[in-house]
Amino acid sequence: MNSENILEVKHLTKHFKAAKKQVVHAVDDVTFSIARGKTLGLVGESGCGKSTCARTVIRMYDVTDGQIFLDGTEITRMSQKELKPFRKKMQMIFQDPYASLNARMTVRDIIAEPLLAHRIVKNKAEANDLVYSMLERVGLTKEHAGRYAHEFSGGQRQRVGIARALILKPELVICDEPISALDVSIQAQVINLLKDYQDEQGVSYLFIAHDLSMVRYVSDDVGVMYLGQLVEISEADEIYKNPLHPYTKGLLGSIPIANPKLARLKVKSSIEGDIPSPIQPPSGCRFHTRCPYAKPECAEKTPKLTDAGNGHRVACHLY
């Protein structure tokens, strides 16, 4: 493990059992790392496994195979009790702050709860000062502390979710589509808040999003997932300037479109067809059923993630 990395994920695999003894291949053999104080954006269409990957990393799900190292310690198969001290270091911000915040608790109690659970404070009174200063840090005020989640706008609720995640001063925050449910005008405010906090505290982020434009401003590195696999990963600037994988090109809207009707529509994502089922993913390269460059070997041989130069890694037989 490289000591500069807060997180290292090696060959992570997460399968779920489905009906009739079928298996959902949600995440297959995914490897990446996040350096301290940096952000990895993880991108892909809905159903590509990015959220499952994030939830497996934070150990909301048990791992099927592979390894997870947090700050140099392997946490892959720790029990929930063994994990407790590591939970302080790794927190999560959810997509839907309304569903993730307890409707019966005041904002004060929601934010104080992790402080009490980890015995950082002895009682609620002791937590108050920390809660008030965190509310101010996320752009709310002390006066908001006595209110309930339903009394807030979507953007304010997400600020409460962020305050709850940051109150323990974690070293890694997993942001699971934290701006997707917000109005466009609010998205930039939340992104700026997360970025400013990173500049101040040196926290690292794993930032999940469904399109590449959302992670452009926040990410140092970007990884692209397709049907449970990481198909491309590189420094962010490089991936936007020089996307290699046909799927990444499609997400960026720069792939040639075979269907003239779709081409005329100039849709942002120019990938045709739906993502196949993760229960029986296509053989070989999982993207071959939608790839305009697919050749016969693509259906037979699985491409490995290979360095195409400058640490830019891609899984495609074209490289």
From the list 32-40, 65-73, 256-264, 286-294, the region that binds ligand SF4 by CB under 6 A is 286-294
Min dist CB 294 to ligand SF4, Å, is 4
**Among candidate residues 128, 124, 184, the one with its CA nearest the CA of residue 154:** 184
Min dist CB 45 to ligand SF4, Å, is 15
On whether the CB atoms of residues 233 and 50 are closer than 8 A, the answer is no
251 binds ligand SF4 (CB under 6 A): no
C-beta closer to ligand SF4: residue 171 or 232: 232
C-beta closer to ligand SF4: residue 240 or 293: 293
What CA–CA distance (Å, rounded) separates 266 from 283? 30
From the list 38-46, 119-127, 181-189, 292-300, the region that binds ligand SF4 by CB under 6 A is 292-300
What CA–CA distance (Å, rounded) separates 289 from 292? 9
What CA–CA distance (Å, rounded) separates 292 from 270? 11
From the list 44-52, 102-110, 183-191, 280-288, the region that binds ligand SF4 by CB under 6 A is 280-288
C-beta closer to ligand SF4: residue 111 or 271: 271
- Strand 39-43 relative to strand 204-209: parallel, antiparallel, unpaired? parallel
316 binds ligand SF4 (CB under 6 A): yes
287 binds ligand SF4 (CB under 6 A): yes
288 binds ligand SF4 (CB under 6 A): yes
Q: DSSP secondary-structure letter at 79?
A: -
Min dist CB 300 to ligand SF4, Å, is 10
239 binds ligand SF4 (CB under 6 A): no
Residues touching ligand SF4: how many (CB under 6 A)? 13
DSSP letter for each residue of 95-158: S-HHHHS-TTSBHHHHHHHHHHHTTSSSSHHHHHHHHHHHHHHTT--GGGGGSBGGGS-HHHHH
Question: What CA–CA distances, in Å, run from 91 to 53, 164, 251, 285?
Answer: 15, 9, 29, 34
On whether the CB atoms of residues 237 and 65 are closer than 8 A, the answer is no
276 binds ligand SF4 (CB under 6 A): no
Contact with ligand SF4 (CB under 6 A): which of 246, 250, 278, 281?
246
Given phi > 0 = left and psi -120 to 50 = alpha, else beta, which region is 92?
A: beta
C-beta closer to ligand SF4: residue 58 or 316: 316
On whether the CB atoms of residues 223 and 297 are closer than 8 A, the answer is no
Q: Which structure tokens are listed for 246?
A: 């046909």
Q: Is 167 helix (H, G, I), strand (E, B) or coil?
A: coil
Contact with ligand SF4 (CB under 6 A): which of 54, 101, 173, 298?
298
294 binds ligand SF4 (CB under 6 A): yes
Binding mask 165-184 for ligand SF4 (x = CB under 6 A): --------------------
C-beta closer to ligand SF4: residue 68 or 316: 316
161 binds ligand SF4 (CB under 6 A): no
What Rg value do the Cα atoms of the chain yield, rounded?
21
From the list 23-31, 78-86, 89-97, 282-290, the region that binds ligand SF4 by CB under 6 A is 282-290
C-beta closer to ligand SF4: residue 148 or 293: 293
On whether the CB atoms of residues 233 and 67 are closer than 8 A, the answer is no
Binding site for ligand SF4 (CB under 6 A): 245-246, 285, 287-288, 291, 293-294, 298, 303, 316-318
